Chain A
Amino acid sequence: MGWFGLLGMVVLPMVMTAVAGCSAVPVARTPLCGPSGSLRVGVMDPVEGRGSSRGAGLSSEQRESLGKLLTVASGCQVELEPLDSPERARMKLAARKWDAAFLPPGLTAFALRAELGYTPLRPLGLRQSSLSAVLVGEGSRLRHLSDLNGAKVGLLPRGSLGGFYLPLYNMHGLSLGRVSFALDYASLLAMLKRGEVDAIAWDESMPDPGPAVRRLQVDGHAIPLGSLVLSSALAKADYLPFLKTLDDAAAQMPESIGYSASGLPQQQKLQPLKAIVDNVESWSMPLEGQPHRVYGRKITS
């Protein structure tokens, strides 16, 4: 047999095999995925303790469309986790279980700690300044923070700036009679009005609590906005196309998230508050329904 025939016998099948093998060509793109192979995104209401509705203040349609938007922006399968408890969100961040997160200010400060290494991308939330306060009943005999020794105090869970870190920071050295937690300020107010607690943490940007209560103290720190943060691993990757897609779709994002397409994270405003969060984090922590001595080394700046 001639060489030509042999050649045909080898080459023709090869071509056919190649044709059969390449029927589906994968689309080329570099997805922004976390180490698990998907993009795990935590979602918290950027305004602490607002408790407008459960699920980070988003309806299920809003959650679904936010999930779709993030999927398109990242090119990766998205696991969206909306949470209401800052304490659980704090644990997720501490365990680096989230690749990106929509966070309120307290958790933003926590996420930016050096050992966690999250990077802030965009500010969240519309409110420009709010202050943390401590409320007591109108008729209460408590006049000063120091009167809180032995008192029953209601706080937002660990992770909240205005409802946990700041009030505890200001109560340093006191022995509280009992600490109770609630997921939002409205529930704390109800507890105060029912007399279950003697004092509660409060945020001045909440609707007026009415004449039945009185301010025991108002903290001077302006509370900054929340932030969209990215894990250190993803911040090293090329995340700009992802961010651009989000920026372009800012108008479609749920209003309550308050995504600002052009805003820069308020690093400066956050700095002193971050120091306070770091400081309080090193103290002993109160437990639900238990007495608590606010104890630890206080660093004043």
Chain B
Amino acid sequence: MAITLSVVFSLSLLLAVLVLDQFFGWQAKDLINQRSDFFMDSMLAVREYTTKNVNPIVAPLNNGPGIFRPEAVPSYSANTVFDYLRAKPDYKQYSYREAALNPTNLKDKADTFETSIIESFRESPSTTSVSGEKMTPLGSFHYVARPIRIGKESCLACHSTPDRAPRSQLLAYGDSNGFGWKLNEVVGAQIVSVPQEALVQSKRQSLLATAMMLMVTFVVVGLVTNAVLDQLILRPMRRISSKAEEASVTPASVSFEEKVRSDEIGLLAQSFERMKQSLAISMQMLKDRQKP
């Protein structure tokens, strides 16, 4: 019986773990998607702040004789803020890119994979976000991407033609990249990516913690059940059994005290008590008959 119980417990635990594995997988992906959305929204806010609050102050400097100050560039501030964010261990795995087909800074040049995402945004303007898996030499990554659209005339000061851009910008980035952008055109994409390994890891952690908790619960329940069964049923049964054994030889000296109990053990004891009494009577009758 003990072995059957433990097998039942273990099988239900295994089933629970399998179901939870699936569930935590969804949950981990959901968390990563949520975080990615939050990152991209935050980066949009940083861009907005740079355009509205920083650029008016720094732009005159960039038109002067000094070197170009990228602090006035929305994309630069977003990337810099993200770098600071990534210094926190919780976010270390995340990476953020503002990839463009024709970027100002060639580090933002869309690779083949990113180009296909940007092209798909350009073809279907109603798509606001895509996510999925991509393979790299370092393994598989989960990514979430959103289009970058030129929404403001102010962007075109630096991204339309070289002669509109500050001279210092041309000296810093050259005059052949990041120009010719049009109002309302999708020029690139915000892309957040996380190694699949991180997803698996976070899933595994939740799973392990839950499985441990389940196991401890099962074991405690098992031990308690065992103790209760032992106290209430098994031990009285053993007592009744040994008394019944004794009663088969000397019924008169045996008493089934358990008969006062109101449960099935009590019933059993009462039955044995009746059987013992009949046995005692039968034995008495036998003795009487033998006396001539």
Contact = CB atoms under 8 A, between A and B. Distances in A.
A21 B204 contact: yes
A4 B67 CA distance: 79
A20 interface: yes
A54 interface: yes
Contacts of A288: 65-67, 167-168, 171
Interface in B1-34: 1-3, 5-7, 9-10, 13-14, 17-18, 21
B222 interface: yes
Interface in B194-240: 197, 200, 204, 207-208, 211-212, 214-215, 218-219, 222-223, 226, 229-230
A6 interface: yes
B35 interface: no
A54 B208 contact: no
A14 B107 contact: no
Contact of B10 (A9, A36, A287): A9
A287 B211 contact: no
B100 to A, nearest CB: 12
Contacts of B219: 9-10, 13
Contacts of A157: 171
A271 interface: no
A206 B229 CA distance: 96
A226 interface: no
Given A71-B136, A72-B137, A75-B138, A82 B106 contact: yes
B49 interface: no
B171 A12 contact: no
A281 interface: no
B9 A1 contact: no
Interface string A6-27: 1011101110110011001011
Interface size class of B (residues with CB under 8 A): 35 or more
B111 A64 contact: yes
A21 B215 contact: no
A94 B65 CA distance: 21
Contact of B107 (A68, A80, A287): A80
A85 B68 CA distance: 11
Interface residues of B: mostly helix, strand, loop or mixed?
helix
Given A17-B211, A21-B204, A85-B172, A9 B106 contact: no
B17 A20 contact: yes
Contact of A13 (B3, B171, B197, B218): B218
B137 A9 contact: no
Contacts of B229: 1
Given A13-B218, A82-B107, A290 B17 contact: no
A43 B111 CA distance: 17
Contacts of A269: none
Contacts of B51: none
Contact of A9 (B68, B93, B222, B230): B222
Contacts of B212: 17
B171 A85 contact: yes
B73 to A, nearest CB: 13
Nearest to A80: B107
Interface string A176-210: 00000111000000000000000000000000000
Contacts of B177: 54-55
Interface string A56-70: 100010011001100
A54 B174 contact: yes
A16 B106 contact: no
B38 interface: no
B106 A12 contact: no
B18 to A, nearest CB: 7
A20 B18 contact: yes
Given A63-B109, A64-B111, A21 B95 contact: no
A77 interface: yes
Nearest to B177: A54
A87 B86 contact: no
Interface string B62-103: 000111100000000000000100110000110100000000
Contact of A85 (B7, B173, B211, B218): B173
25 contacts: A5-B1, A5-B2, A9-B9, A9-B219, A12-B10, A13-B218, A17-B17, A17-B211, A20-B207, A21-B207, A24-B200, A36-B86, A37-B92, A54-B174, A63-B106, A64-B111, A64-B112, A71-B137, A72-B137, A75-B138, A77-B138, A81-B105, A85-B173, A87-B171, A182-B171
Given A9-B222, A84-B173, A288-B167, 13 more contacts: A1-B2, A4-B3, A6-B223, A8-B2, A8-B6, A9-B6, A9-B9, A10-B219, A20-B18, A27-B139, A60-B109, A67-B111, A75-B138
Interface of B: 1-3, 5-7, 9-10, 13-14, 17-18, 21, 65-68, 83, 86-87, 92-93, 95, 105-107, 109, 111-112, 136-139, 167-168, 171-174, 176-177, 197, 200, 204, 207-208, 211-212, 214-215, 218-219, 222-223, 226, 229-230
Interface of A: 1-2, 4-6, 8-10, 12-14, 16-17, 20-21, 24, 26-27, 36-38, 54-56, 60, 63-64, 67-68, 71-72, 75-77, 79-85, 87-88, 91, 157, 181-183, 287-290
